[in-house]
Amino acid sequence: MTVSEACERSEQVVEAYRHCERVVREEARNFSYGIRLMPAPKRRAMSAVYAFARGIDDIGDGPEPACVRLDLLDRSRQRLTTVQEVLRGRVDVRALEGHPVLTALADAASRFPIPLEAFEELIDGCEDDVRGADYETFDDLLRYCQRVAGSVGRLSLGVFGSDGRQRAEGLADSLGVALQLTNILRDLREDRLAGRIYIPAEDLAQFGCTLKLDESGAFVDPPWRLGELIGFQAERARAWYAEGMRLLPLLDRRSAACTAAMAGIYRRLLESIAARPQIALNARMSLPTWQKAVVAARALSGVER
Protein backbone atom coordinates (compact mmCIF):
# COMPACT_ATOMS: atom_id res chain seq x y z
CA MET A 1 0.00 0.00 0.00
CA THR A 2 1.44 3.39 -1.01
CA VAL A 3 1.66 6.37 1.34
CA SER A 4 -1.23 8.08 -0.44
CA GLU A 5 -3.32 4.91 -0.26
CA ALA A 6 -2.54 4.59 3.45
CA CYS A 7 -3.58 8.21 4.06
CA GLU A 8 -6.80 7.70 2.10
CA ARG A 9 -7.50 4.54 4.08
CA SER A 10 -6.91 6.42 7.34
CA GLU A 11 -9.38 9.12 6.31
CA GLN A 12 -11.95 6.46 5.41
CA VAL A 13 -11.59 4.88 8.85
CA VAL A 14 -11.97 8.24 10.61
CA GLU A 15 -15.12 9.03 8.63
CA ALA A 16 -16.44 5.51 9.24
CA TYR A 17 -16.17 6.02 12.99
CA ARG A 18 -17.86 9.40 12.69
CA HIS A 19 -20.74 7.72 10.89
CA CYS A 20 -21.09 5.12 13.68
CA GLU A 21 -21.00 7.80 16.36
CA ARG A 22 -23.79 9.63 14.55
CA VAL A 23 -25.82 6.42 14.59
CA VAL A 24 -25.30 6.20 18.35
CA ARG A 25 -26.31 9.82 18.93
CA GLU A 26 -29.44 9.52 16.78
CA GLU A 27 -30.58 5.97 17.54
CA ALA A 28 -29.18 4.88 20.91
CA ARG A 29 -31.53 6.82 23.15
CA ASN A 30 -30.39 4.99 26.27
CA PHE A 31 -27.03 3.44 25.43
CA SER A 32 -25.53 6.73 24.24
CA TYR A 33 -25.42 8.05 27.81
CA GLY A 34 -23.06 5.26 28.74
CA ILE A 35 -21.00 5.14 25.57
CA ARG A 36 -20.11 8.82 25.78
CA LEU A 37 -18.40 8.18 29.16
CA MET A 38 -15.74 6.00 27.50
CA PRO A 39 -12.29 7.27 26.45
CA ALA A 40 -12.17 8.08 22.73
CA PRO A 41 -10.68 4.80 21.38
CA LYS A 42 -13.16 2.65 23.30
CA ARG A 43 -16.02 5.04 22.55
CA ARG A 44 -15.35 4.70 18.83
CA ALA A 45 -15.10 0.91 19.06
CA MET A 46 -18.35 0.70 21.06
CA SER A 47 -20.03 2.92 18.47
CA ALA A 48 -18.96 0.52 15.70
CA VAL A 49 -20.30 -2.46 17.65
CA TYR A 50 -23.58 -0.68 18.34
CA ALA A 51 -24.03 0.51 14.75
CA PHE A 52 -23.65 -3.00 13.32
CA ALA A 53 -25.91 -4.49 15.99
CA ARG A 54 -28.48 -1.76 15.39
CA GLY A 55 -28.53 -2.53 11.68
CA ILE A 56 -29.28 -6.17 12.41
CA ASP A 57 -32.01 -5.25 14.89
CA ASP A 58 -33.61 -2.80 12.46
CA ILE A 59 -33.85 -5.54 9.84
CA GLY A 60 -35.58 -7.84 12.30
CA ASP A 61 -38.12 -5.13 13.18
CA GLY A 62 -38.54 -3.83 9.64
CA PRO A 63 -41.80 -3.58 7.67
CA GLU A 64 -40.69 -5.83 4.81
CA PRO A 65 -42.14 -9.32 4.27
CA ALA A 66 -40.52 -12.04 6.34
CA CYS A 67 -38.75 -13.58 3.34
CA VAL A 68 -37.12 -10.23 2.52
CA ARG A 69 -35.98 -9.66 6.10
CA LEU A 70 -34.52 -13.17 6.31
CA ASP A 71 -32.58 -12.47 3.12
CA LEU A 72 -31.30 -9.18 4.54
CA LEU A 73 -30.22 -10.92 7.73
CA ASP A 74 -28.34 -13.47 5.66
CA ARG A 75 -26.58 -10.60 3.90
CA SER A 76 -25.58 -9.22 7.30
CA ARG A 77 -24.14 -12.62 8.12
CA GLN A 78 -22.18 -12.57 4.86
CA ARG A 79 -20.87 -9.06 5.58
CA LEU A 80 -19.75 -10.18 9.02
CA THR A 81 -17.83 -13.02 7.36
CA THR A 82 -16.19 -10.49 5.05
CA VAL A 83 -15.01 -8.45 8.03
CA GLN A 84 -13.58 -11.59 9.64
CA GLU A 85 -11.82 -12.58 6.43
CA VAL A 86 -10.32 -9.11 6.10
CA LEU A 87 -8.96 -9.36 9.64
CA ARG A 88 -7.44 -12.77 8.81
CA GLY A 89 -5.76 -11.28 5.76
CA ARG A 90 -7.66 -13.51 3.35
CA VAL A 91 -9.67 -10.68 1.76
CA ASP A 92 -8.37 -7.25 0.72
CA VAL A 93 -9.50 -4.42 2.98
CA ARG A 94 -10.90 -2.66 -0.08
CA ALA A 95 -13.79 -5.11 0.05
CA LEU A 96 -15.16 -2.92 2.85
CA GLU A 97 -15.16 0.30 0.84
CA GLY A 98 -18.57 1.94 0.73
CA HIS A 99 -19.56 0.28 4.01
CA PRO A 100 -18.63 2.68 6.84
CA VAL A 101 -20.03 0.48 9.61
CA LEU A 102 -18.06 -2.54 8.38
CA THR A 103 -14.94 -0.39 7.97
CA ALA A 104 -15.21 0.88 11.55
CA LEU A 105 -16.02 -2.56 12.93
CA ALA A 106 -13.01 -4.14 11.21
CA ASP A 107 -10.71 -1.42 12.56
CA ALA A 108 -12.18 -1.75 16.08
CA ALA A 109 -11.76 -5.54 16.01
CA SER A 110 -8.12 -5.09 14.97
CA ARG A 111 -7.53 -2.99 18.10
CA PHE A 112 -9.67 -4.79 20.68
CA PRO A 113 -10.44 -8.51 21.24
CA ILE A 114 -14.05 -8.17 20.11
CA PRO A 115 -15.66 -11.63 19.70
CA LEU A 116 -17.25 -10.96 16.32
CA GLU A 117 -18.78 -14.43 16.28
CA ALA A 118 -21.25 -13.17 18.91
CA PHE A 119 -22.97 -11.21 16.15
CA GLU A 120 -23.99 -14.60 14.71
CA GLU A 121 -26.08 -15.19 17.83
CA LEU A 122 -27.72 -11.78 17.45
CA ILE A 123 -28.62 -12.61 13.86
CA ASP A 124 -29.99 -15.99 14.98
CA GLY A 125 -32.20 -14.24 17.52
CA CYS A 126 -33.52 -11.77 14.96
CA GLU A 127 -34.30 -14.66 12.64
CA ASP A 128 -36.36 -16.16 15.46
CA ASP A 129 -38.27 -12.87 15.64
CA VAL A 130 -38.95 -12.83 11.92
CA ARG A 131 -40.15 -16.44 11.93
CA GLY A 132 -42.47 -15.71 14.85
CA ALA A 133 -40.94 -17.96 17.50
CA ASP A 134 -43.10 -18.90 20.49
CA TYR A 135 -41.84 -19.03 24.07
CA GLU A 136 -43.54 -21.70 26.13
CA THR A 137 -41.25 -21.48 29.17
CA PHE A 138 -38.85 -18.96 30.65
CA ASP A 139 -35.95 -21.20 29.60
CA ASP A 140 -37.11 -20.72 26.00
CA LEU A 141 -37.18 -16.95 26.47
CA LEU A 142 -33.83 -17.01 28.25
CA ARG A 143 -32.14 -18.55 25.23
CA TYR A 144 -33.60 -15.78 23.07
CA CYS A 145 -32.45 -13.05 25.49
CA GLN A 146 -28.95 -14.50 25.58
CA ARG A 147 -28.84 -14.41 21.80
CA VAL A 148 -30.06 -10.88 21.21
CA ALA A 149 -28.79 -9.10 24.34
CA GLY A 150 -26.26 -11.33 26.05
CA SER A 151 -24.32 -11.41 22.79
CA VAL A 152 -24.09 -7.60 22.80
CA GLY A 153 -22.83 -7.76 26.39
CA ARG A 154 -20.03 -10.10 25.36
CA LEU A 155 -19.17 -7.89 22.38
CA SER A 156 -19.00 -4.88 24.68
CA LEU A 157 -16.77 -6.77 27.09
CA GLY A 158 -14.29 -7.21 24.25
CA VAL A 159 -13.95 -3.43 24.15
CA PHE A 160 -14.04 -2.91 27.92
CA GLY A 161 -11.54 -5.57 28.92
CA SER A 162 -11.92 -7.19 32.34
CA ASP A 163 -10.38 -9.16 35.15
CA GLY A 164 -11.39 -12.83 34.96
CA ARG A 165 -12.71 -13.01 31.42
CA GLN A 166 -14.80 -16.17 31.80
CA ARG A 167 -16.60 -14.91 34.92
CA ALA A 168 -17.05 -11.48 33.36
CA GLU A 169 -18.65 -12.98 30.25
CA GLY A 170 -21.22 -14.80 32.35
CA LEU A 171 -22.09 -11.62 34.25
CA ALA A 172 -22.26 -9.59 31.04
CA ASP A 173 -24.65 -12.20 29.72
CA SER A 174 -26.82 -11.83 32.85
CA LEU A 175 -26.91 -8.06 32.52
CA GLY A 176 -27.91 -8.40 28.88
CA VAL A 177 -30.80 -10.65 29.93
CA ALA A 178 -31.94 -8.02 32.45
CA LEU A 179 -31.89 -5.29 29.80
CA GLN A 180 -33.84 -7.45 27.36
CA LEU A 181 -36.48 -8.36 29.94
CA THR A 182 -36.93 -4.63 30.53
CA ASN A 183 -37.29 -4.05 26.79
CA ILE A 184 -39.95 -6.75 26.63
CA LEU A 185 -42.05 -5.02 29.30
CA ARG A 186 -41.54 -1.59 27.74
CA ASP A 187 -42.60 -2.80 24.29
CA LEU A 188 -45.38 -5.15 25.38
CA ARG A 189 -48.19 -3.43 23.46
CA GLU A 190 -46.03 -2.42 20.50
CA ASP A 191 -44.83 -6.01 20.06
CA ARG A 192 -48.37 -7.37 20.45
CA LEU A 193 -49.59 -5.06 17.68
CA ALA A 194 -46.82 -6.49 15.52
CA GLY A 195 -48.02 -10.02 16.31
CA ARG A 196 -45.23 -10.89 18.76
CA ILE A 197 -45.52 -12.17 22.34
CA TYR A 198 -42.38 -12.61 24.41
CA ILE A 199 -44.00 -13.34 27.78
CA PRO A 200 -43.70 -17.12 28.27
CA ALA A 201 -46.95 -19.02 27.81
CA GLU A 202 -46.53 -20.65 31.24
CA ASP A 203 -46.51 -17.19 32.86
CA LEU A 204 -49.58 -16.07 30.94
CA ALA A 205 -51.41 -19.18 32.13
CA GLN A 206 -50.28 -18.63 35.73
CA PHE A 207 -51.83 -15.15 35.80
CA GLY A 208 -54.84 -15.95 33.61
CA CYS A 209 -53.79 -13.57 30.81
CA THR A 210 -53.99 -13.90 27.04
CA LEU A 211 -52.58 -10.54 25.85
CA LYS A 212 -55.36 -10.40 23.29
CA LEU A 213 -56.28 -6.97 21.91
CA ASP A 214 -59.71 -5.55 21.14
CA GLU A 215 -60.57 -3.60 17.98
CA SER A 216 -59.12 -0.42 19.46
CA GLY A 217 -55.79 -2.11 20.22
CA ALA A 218 -56.35 -2.27 23.98
CA PHE A 219 -55.67 -5.38 26.04
CA VAL A 220 -58.82 -7.31 26.93
CA ASP A 221 -57.35 -8.99 30.04
CA PRO A 222 -58.47 -7.53 33.39
CA PRO A 223 -56.10 -4.70 34.38
CA TRP A 224 -55.37 -6.21 37.79
CA ARG A 225 -54.25 -9.48 36.21
CA LEU A 226 -51.99 -7.66 33.77
CA GLY A 227 -50.59 -5.64 36.65
CA GLU A 228 -49.73 -8.80 38.56
CA LEU A 229 -48.14 -10.30 35.44
CA ILE A 230 -45.96 -7.23 34.93
CA GLY A 231 -45.01 -7.22 38.62
CA PHE A 232 -43.90 -10.84 38.36
CA GLN A 233 -41.82 -10.15 35.24
CA ALA A 234 -40.29 -7.04 36.84
CA GLU A 235 -39.20 -9.01 39.90
CA ARG A 236 -37.55 -11.56 37.63
CA ALA A 237 -35.68 -8.77 35.81
CA ARG A 238 -34.50 -7.30 39.14
CA ALA A 239 -32.86 -10.63 39.97
CA TRP A 240 -30.98 -10.59 36.68
CA TYR A 241 -29.85 -7.00 37.31
CA ALA A 242 -28.58 -7.98 40.77
CA GLU A 243 -26.50 -10.73 39.19
CA GLY A 244 -25.33 -8.70 36.18
CA MET A 245 -24.21 -5.68 38.18
CA ARG A 246 -21.57 -7.86 39.83
CA LEU A 247 -19.68 -7.27 36.59
CA LEU A 248 -18.75 -3.69 37.55
CA PRO A 249 -15.86 -4.47 39.94
CA LEU A 250 -14.21 -6.49 37.15
CA LEU A 251 -14.05 -3.46 34.83
CA ASP A 252 -11.85 -0.39 34.73
CA ARG A 253 -13.38 2.86 36.02
CA ARG A 254 -14.62 4.26 32.70
CA SER A 255 -15.93 0.91 31.44
CA ALA A 256 -17.71 0.40 34.75
CA ALA A 257 -19.19 3.91 34.46
CA CYS A 258 -20.44 3.15 30.94
CA THR A 259 -22.04 -0.10 32.09
CA ALA A 260 -23.51 1.46 35.24
CA ALA A 261 -25.05 4.30 33.23
CA MET A 262 -26.73 2.01 30.72
CA ALA A 263 -27.92 -0.43 33.37
CA GLY A 264 -29.02 2.40 35.67
CA ILE A 265 -31.21 3.97 33.01
CA TYR A 266 -32.86 0.65 32.24
CA ARG A 267 -33.36 -0.22 35.91
CA ARG A 268 -35.15 3.09 36.46
CA LEU A 269 -37.26 2.41 33.39
CA LEU A 270 -38.13 -1.00 34.83
CA GLU A 271 -39.20 0.55 38.14
CA SER A 272 -41.34 3.12 36.31
CA ILE A 273 -43.10 0.32 34.45
CA ALA A 274 -43.60 -1.72 37.62
CA ALA A 275 -44.97 1.32 39.48
CA ARG A 276 -47.38 2.32 36.70
CA PRO A 277 -48.22 -0.82 34.71
CA GLN A 278 -51.44 0.61 33.24
CA ILE A 279 -49.51 3.45 31.61
CA ALA A 280 -46.94 0.99 30.27
CA LEU A 281 -49.73 -1.14 28.78
CA ASN A 282 -51.02 1.78 26.74
CA ALA A 283 -47.86 3.64 25.73
CA ARG A 284 -44.13 3.09 25.32
CA MET A 285 -42.56 4.46 28.49
CA SER A 286 -39.19 6.22 28.61
CA LEU A 287 -37.22 8.29 31.08
CA PRO A 288 -36.93 12.07 30.64
CA THR A 289 -33.61 13.31 29.27
CA TRP A 290 -32.66 15.05 32.51
CA GLN A 291 -33.03 11.82 34.47
CA LYS A 292 -30.82 9.92 32.05
CA ALA A 293 -28.18 12.64 32.38
CA VAL A 294 -28.33 12.39 36.17
CA VAL A 295 -27.84 8.62 36.02
CA ALA A 296 -24.84 9.05 33.70
CA ALA A 297 -23.28 11.65 36.02
CA ARG A 298 -23.80 9.39 39.04
CA ALA A 299 -22.26 6.49 37.13
CA LEU A 300 -19.13 8.51 36.27
CA SER A 301 -18.74 9.56 39.91
CA GLY A 302 -19.09 5.96 41.06
CA VAL A 303 -22.37 6.50 42.91
CA GLU A 304 -24.49 4.53 40.43
CA ARG A 305 -23.47 0.97 41.25
Q: What is the pLDDT of residues 91-145, one digit of tens each?
A: 998 899 899 999 999 999 999 999 999 999 999 999 999 998 889 999 999 999 9
Q: Decide if 229 contacts 203 (C-beta within 8 A).
A: yes
Q: Which of 24-33, 142-151, 173-182 has the lowest mean pLDDT?
A: 24-33
Burial class (CB in 10 A: 0-12, 13-18, 19+), 247: buried
Instruction: Evaluate if residue 215 carries a pLDDT over 60.
Output: yes
CA 28 to each of CA 50, 53, 142, 238, 241: distance values in angstroms, whole numbers, following the listed order: 8, 11, 24, 23, 20
Residue 269 has pLDDT above 50, yes or no: yes
* Model pTM score: 0.90
Q: Are 143 and 165 in contact (CB under 8 A)?
A: no
Give yes or no for residue 4 having a pLDDT over 80: no
Residue 19 has pLDDT above 50, yes or no: yes
Roughly what angle, to the nearest 10 degrees, separates helices 66-87 and 100-111? 40
> Residue 305 has what pLDDT?
58
What distance in Å separates the CA atoms of residue 31 and residue 260, rounded to the nearest whole number? Answer: 11
List the single range of 6-20, 40-54, 134-148, 202-216 with lowest mean pLDDT: 6-20
The neighbour count for residue 227, using CB atoms within 10 Å, is: 18
